[in-house]
Amino acid sequence: MIIDFHTHIFPPAAKADRSPYLARDACFGQLYSSPKAKMATAEDLVASMDLEGIDVSVALNFGWADHALCVETNNYILESIARYPKRIVGFCAVQPAAGDKAIYEMERCARAGVRGIGEMRSDEQGFHLGDEAVMGPVVHAAKRLGLILLLHSSEPVGHEYKGKGKVTPEQLYSFAKAFAEATVVYAHWGGGLPFYALMPEVALALQHTYFDTAASPLLYRPQIFKHVVEIIGADKVLFGSDYPLLPLRRYRSELDSLGLDRDVTDAIFGGNAQRLLGIEK
């Protein structure tokens, strides 16, 4: 089974005319102001999955700064998982700074079948991951509701690109220490955080942490798969394409070039996600 743990979908109206969203969210404007920036609907995602041989995809929402936008676009995520219950796993968006409204939205979406929250972008949403007053209620509610947190991550060095952000390993580590009970996925290899797991105290803090591979071919050489597996174990790596940014074949080609054991690649491309999400074969 192949599971893509990091894809993005938007309502058809947003894909047809993104201008209202550009005016309402600065981060969305940064990423999608160009007409060349790809946007996909649930139907687009499923069609791509059929073409690529992907069985299940996690459809993430966006890190909206406005609570109202979270609710509005969450409705489309809920509609999508209702239409494709065997193909799409939904994650909802919340604005932690909205307080009780965010918790209510988490509860509403959990009742409708979402499995997580994300992709959260703390720098663009205006809060700090280590702020217990803001993040504490969200983390505790996520644990109560059985929801996974998926957080955007940024490399502190390297080239600049739209959407890179400032959620660096230092902040992610701060979150991991403050909320050790959270089941969390750090996107984009955690901005390089796995390499610090060579430090025993960091490895201890990351016991319930996973890392997805979203946009990896645009950020790292293929050897990152081998090195991260050696440091934190193959069971902590989740294939994520960042669809519609990159196709599965880019990742498959990179892993094939490394000669990793079949059980390692099977775990990365689906086994780990299957276990984390409780999906039956």
Average pLDDT value for the chain:
96
Tokens 């979402």 appear where?
114
Residue ranges per structural domain of the chain:
3-277
Tokens of 175: 């979150």
Tokens of 247: 């196709």
Assigned CATH topology for domain 3-277: TIM Barrel (3.20.20)
Residue 130 reports pLDDT greater than 90: no
Residue 195 reports pLDDT greater than 80: yes
In the chain, % helix, strand, coil (3-state, to 5) comes to 55, 10, 35
C-alpha torsion 278→147→240→266, nearest 10: -20
Residue type present at position 82: A
Give the Cβ contact number of residue 247 at 10 Å: 14
Mean pLDDT of the region 46-51: 97
What is the model's pTM? 0.97
Mean pLDDT of the region 196-205: 96
As a whole number of angstroms, the distance between CA 178 and CA 169 comes to: 14
